[in-house]
Structure 1
Amino acid sequence: MRLLLIIVFFFTTAQAVSQNDLLAKNYFEQGEFVKALTIYEKLLEKNPGRLDYFLAVVECNQQLENFQAAEHLLLEKLNSPRAIPQLYVELGHNYSLQNKDSLATESYDKAIRYIDENPAYAYNIGRSFENYSLLNEAVEVYERAMTLDSTKEFNAHLARIYGEQGKLEKMFTKYLELMQSNAAYRSVAQRNFSMFVNDDPANEANEILRKTLLRELQKNPDVLYNELLSWLFIQQKEFKKAFAQQKAIFKRTEDDLTGIIDLALIAIAEQDYEIARDIVNFAIENAPSPEARLQSHQYMMKIELATAVKEDYPKIEKQFLTLLETYGMGESTYRLQIDYNHFLAFLAGKPDTAIQNLKELSGTRLSVYQEARVKMELADILVFSEKFNEALIYYSQVQSKIKNDVLAQEARFKVAETSYFKGDFEWAQVQLDVLRKSASQLIANDAMQLSLMIRDNSLEDSTQTALKKYAKADLLALQKKEPEAITVLDDILNNHKGEKIEDEALLKQGELFEITGQFEKAEANYLKLIEFYKDDILADDAHFRLAKLYEEKLQQPQKAKEFYEQIIFNYADSIYFVEARKKFRSLRGDAVN
């Protein structure tokens, strides 16, 4: 019983201290320093060994300009038997606040001299200097400690400080030393490099890093430097130069195409298909196994499709068939078969053939996940062919087969979307409301957007006439029937003026005008949306699309800059804010990190 009482007493006391600590911090943050000081003094009285409470009392006095009281506290603590040399930094800072620079320097020197007595003090003293942005003093502390005691390791601190001081070459060199001694530092180093390096090869930091890496590579031909040069060239979107580095790495590592493949995927994502083709050809020629060669061929087909025009489709179909003849129609080529049938349905105009092929594939020996992937593609093609009920069956099968996978959530969204295409808005809404809590942020956002559109456009029109037309236009756009979709949207804009659907129709039609190369018409749509719906949820979309249109298609950078700027100042919570700010600075001529 007595032990229990002791435990309860200590628990209650600890809880009270914690609550007072939080209260004091809150007062301090609110600028109520007198109240904060009162609580911290009581906490320190009860916990005299707590240095954080002592420093809080000192800082409260400094905020209240009670510099003499702060000095008295610090000197009293420094004269105690326990050596706490970082308090000389605090004392120096207290003098600095009073513009007593000579006394401040004297105190800082005393702190630094303690390193000669015991290098173990370096961490606390160095951190204290850093807290007050006294970076030169912090560097001196860390460097002196490492000279006096070879077991001390402050290179990470030094590298970070060199960066803050703008001593880029010293920072890069120090991080390279760290990576040589411990590969775990690489992610930290690259994260810090990214704060200085940007996509401009002429940027000072880019040039310094490139020269530093080349210098180190000449001294020591370690693949680390090739890898970092490749990383730098990727940041600069110079994929050809990155490829040269990756080939050098491949020659030394043998059979490891990881870097080559990763670079190919980046080049494809950036739509630099010319160099991507060269990279993938290299991967095909040097593939260590049939499986690796097949994967590279799949990437090549993605490039072929991305760069093809309609006249190329017969040739592409033959390429697919040649690969399938070479590698077979079994489990190992299921992804290639999905790509082939996607091509047949969505580009080559042969959806029925694709449906039949995928039904046969889904009946072969596949893993549960592979079968789910096949059925997702099959259902997508069935929607494309307006066979909605059959598509819903396959989407439901995907959900039941892999219940806890993101693919199952995607299938649920496709169920909602298919119901929307059918005009069954009530059932679509039920599915979307569940998905708004999805673990996948992308799916949750898509679900929220579609849900809001259905709800908003059902309130004032119980017949949902305009919404049904809009769903039809959406489906036509999915089917690559852009002119027909544009015509349906014209119907909405002419016959449903002033209804909630009008802004959606303007934005959607603007996107379709862009796809069909009617850029002036797209411009007119976005301008109209901005004029009449500037406070609407789609206003930032219209601004961003219009800015990109001016920048990339209409070659009017000044107008592009104007609309990017409007996003920055008027739509700070927009998902386009970060990209708009980067684009604006680039168009203005800033160095954009």
Structure 2
Amino acid sequence: MPQGFAQKKNEKVMIRDQANRYFQEQKYDKAAVLFKSLYDDSGADAYFEYYLRCLIESSDYKTALKTIRQKLRESKKSKYLVWQGYVYSREGDTKRAEEYYQQALDGLQPERSRIIELGNAFYTLGEMEWAAKVYQEAQKKFPSQEFHYELAQIYFRTRNYPLMLDAYLDLLKSQPKALTTVEGRLMTAFYYDIDGELKDQMQKTILARMQSDPGNVVYNKLFVWFLIQQKNYSAALSQALVLDRRTGDEASTLLNLAQLAAKGEAYSEALRAYDYLKKRKGDNPYREEAQLRQTQVAYQRFLAAQTSRKTAVDSLDQLFQMTFHQLGESRRTLFLIEDYAKFLAFYSHQPAKAIDLLERAGKIQGLNPTQKGKLKVELADCNVCAGDYWEAVLLYAQVAKEMRETNLADEAKFKRARLAYYMGDFNWVKAQMDVLKGSTAKLTANDALALSLLIENHEAPDSLNSDLQMLARADLDRFCNRPQEALLRLDSLQQKYPYSDLNEEVLSRKAKILVKLQKYQEAASAYNDLLKKYPDGKNSDEARFRLGELYEKELNLPDKAEAIYKDIVLHHPGSVYIEDARKNYRALRDRK
């Protein structure tokens, strides 16, 4: 590129940027000079229209009209009639403005590009009613052309949701392949629909269309999408199943719906969808994927239910075994192997089986270093629960060395230090904490800091630390999901050391364990006891919020929950839970 040409191009860019800055700063007189020079040099309509805007915003209507008339003589484009009318409108001459608008409308030509150009001229200048008239008139004059999308955009901007929805549905009727586009535009509309008006209107409109035109399945597809956006997974699934039985073409929608339902903790709906996909006849590329994901979601539901009933454990164990029998142990099923190992070690309390499973998984061909390292960490965790602490230490150390300077290495180092804490080797733990507190992995750094502070604040000078050792053993039981054993240790600690400075930690842990055991009344008592004895303790912030949640969600005591949330908002401004407390308080108050 010649140097002179490049220099001239750079000058134009600088002028354009300066013109835009003046325009944004509402320095229209200065912007007008620059936009005019850019237009004179390039002849681009965009610069010309910016020049007109600057004249109008500067109230230089005389120059604007003179400029537009000159442009009309040169181009004969109807959009400049719109600009001329707009100038009169800004001057307050509504009658004359509408005469020019009508003149532009009367001159409609069949070329689609000309129609859209005219509609855009009205749209850009905020004359929405006239913009709509352009497309309405065009559809009457030229029936072979449709402008549903353009009309929908105008109705969206004017918040005329009934007409907007009708326009989009008319578009889908003639162009079913536009479904993804319509969904995207409606997603934007939902974002700006603060008062929820669109949601109610959309449900009414789609249902009416489905009833009046039952043969058009695109309306049913849009309705499924709408229900998913509302997180009404049950209704969405029912509609999607009916639609798939009718068309045989909704397998991908059902898979996506199942994944979203699981993410939204609507586990029953996700499992129903996966079960249907498993049993679906004919060409079914999702059968194996459905089997895998159904097992994964069944495990997630098991964890959410916090149940230890033998029937639930045995049922899930059978599902895991059936899935591996059908699909085998491979890289594809690796994520499920990891889930099953955790289930065996921490919920079925069969760490030996978990260890055997993970050792087999480590021999799968094609695993990358991160996958192998993660399996070793999980294997070490299982060895902790099996009581083979030295094997666990060795595995954690291997990962820390092999995966050096990664988050996984930091996690392994922390878990090794935590195991030393469980074993009562507090001095070794303290020696490792300074490094771990600087971890780039936020969760590891926070956990390391919490463990470090626990030991520093409660380690006794005589090095006996019997109460801290008891707490550590209770924490080991909690890690291995042995809640009853952990409770017994904590009760023993309180009885043996009634004046221990660890009692706040004990109460906090007891409350969390009781929640896990679904003993909500006892958990509330433990939290209340903690807040009474340690109102400003290190655990009081969390205890206060969790107590509110217990009252609200488990004990059906909304007034007590509301009082706690209000107290957090008014009297604990530094609480990390203040935003959640404010949201929950408003929700409870609004229900009254």
- What does residue 45 of structure 1 align with? 37
Q: How does 1:101-500 map to 2 (within 5 A)?
A: 101-116=94-109, 120-149=113-142, 154-179=147-172, 185-194=178-187, 195-196=189-190, 204-215=200-211, 218-220=214-216, 222=217, 224-254=218-248, 257-286=251-280, 288=284, 291=288, 294-295=291-292, 298-299=295-296, 301-302=298-299, 305-306=302-303, 307=305, 308-312=307-311, 315-316=314-315, 319-320=318-319, 323=322, 326-327=325-326, 330-331=329-330, 334-365=334-365, 367-368=367-368, 374-375=375-376, 377-382=378-383, 387=389, 388-393=392-397, 395=399, 399=403, 411-412=408-409, 414-415=411-412, 417-418=414-415, 421=418, 435=440, 446=443, 478-480=479-481, 484=486, 495=501
Note if contact 1:283-1:296 (Cα within 8 Å) is conserved in structure 2.
no
CA shift in 2, pair 1:218/1:579, >3 Å: farther
| CA–CA distance in structure 1, aligned partners of residues 533 and 119 of structure 2 | 59
* Contact 1:419–1:428 under 8 Å retained in 2: no
Contact 2:79/2:118 (8 A) holds in 1: yes
Residues 1:56 and 2:56 aligned together: no
CA contact (8 A) 1:74 1:87 kept: no
CA shift in 2, pair 1:520/1:202, >3 Å: farther
Deviation for aligned residue 1:292: 5.3
TM-score between the two structures when normalised by the length of structure 2:
0.71
- The Cα shift of 1:348 comes to 1.9
Distance change (3 Å), C-alpha of 1:132 and 1:425: farther
* Structure 1 residues 233-275: Cα deviation after superposition (integer angstroms, max 9, x where no partner): 3344444433332322332454974444443444444444444
Q: Cα 1:578–1:188, aligned 2, differ >3 Å: closer, same or farther?
A: farther
The CA deviation at 1:373 is: 6.3
How many angstroms apart in 2 are the aligned matches of 1:150 and 1:167? 24
Give the corresponding residue for 1:16. 11
- Note the alpha carbon deviations across 1:464-520, whole angstroms, 9 max, x for none: 999x999999876544466859969999x98499xxxx9x99999986675463246
Tell me how far apart the structure 1 counterparts of residues 63 and 478 of structure 2 sit (CA, whole Å).
71
2:401 and 2:409 in contact (8 A); partners too = no
Distance 1:144 1:303, change over 3 A: same
Residue 552 (1) aligns with residue 553 (2) = yes
Residues 212 and 434 of structure 1: CA distance in aligned 2, closer, same or farther (over 3 Å)? farther
In 2, the alpha carbon distance for the partners of 1:462 and 1:520 equals 25
Give the AA of the match of 1:86: K
Structure 1 CA distance for aligned equivalents of residues 474 and 36 of structure 2: 70
CA distance in 2, matches of 1:342, 1:106: 76
1:86 lines up with 2:87 in the alignment = no
Task: Please give the alpha-carbon distance, in whole angstroms, between the structure 1 residues aligned to 2:528 and 2:184.
Answer: 39
Could you give the per-residue CA deviations for residues 433-480 of structure 1, whole angstroms, max 9, x where no partner exists? Answer: 6746xxxxxxxx64675588799x69x9899999x9999998765444
Quick check: 2:179–2:222 contact (8 Å CA) kept in 1? Answer: no
CA shift, 1:347, in A, is 1.0
Decide whether aligned partners of structure 1 residues 413 and 587 sit closer, same or farther in structure 2, where only a CA change above 3 A counts. Answer: farther
Q: How far apart in 2 are the matches of 1:175 and 1:202?
A: 13
Task: Determine the C-alpha separation between the residues in 2 that align with 1:20 and 1:566.
Answer: 55
| CA distance in structure 1 between the partners assigned to 2:125 and 2:527 by the alignment | 54
Kindly state the Cα deviation for residue 313 of structure 1 after the two structures are TM-superposed: 5.2
Structure 1 residue 210: Cα displacement? 3.7
> Could you say if the C-alpha distance between residues 514 and 462 of structure 1 is closer, same or farther in structure 2, counting changes exceeding 3 Å?
closer
Q: Which amino acid aligns with 1:37?
A: D
Question: 1:140 deviation in Å?
Answer: 1.4
**Preserved contact between residue 277 and residue 303 of structure 1 (Cα < 8 Å):** no
Between structure 1 and structure 2, the one with the greater Rg is 2
**CA–CA distance in structure 2, aligned partners of residues 125 and 564 of structure 1:** 56
- CA RMSD, 1 decimal: 5.4
Secondary structure of the residue aligned to 2:92 is coil
Return the offset for 1:317. Answer: 6.3
Give the distance between the partners of 2:207 and 2:140, measured in 1 at CA.
Answer: 28
Compared with structure 1, are the counterparts of its residues 205 and 452 closer, same or farther at alpha carbon in structure 2 (3 Å cutoff)? farther
Give the count of matched residue pairs.
Answer: 552
Counterpart contact for 1:342–1:354, Cα < 8 Å:
yes
C-alpha spacing 1:496/1:396, structure 2 compared with 1 (3 Å): closer
Displacement of 1:42 in angstroms is 3.7
* Cα separation, 2, equivalents of 1:105 and 1:135: 13
Aligned-pair CA distance for 1:8: 2.0
- Give the whole-Å Cα distance in 2 for the aligned partners of 1:103 and 1:364: 80
- The alpha-carbon deviation at position 343 of structure 1 amounts to 1.0
Tell me the TM-score normalised to structure 1 length: 0.71
CA distance in 1, matches of 2:89, 2:532: 56
Cα displacement string for residues 275-328 of structure 1 (whole angstroms, at most 9, x for unaligned residues):
455444434443658735743662574267345433335523651475268437
Inter-CA distance 576–462: structure 2 relative to 1 (3 Å threshold): closer
Counterpart residue type for residue 381 of structure 1 = C
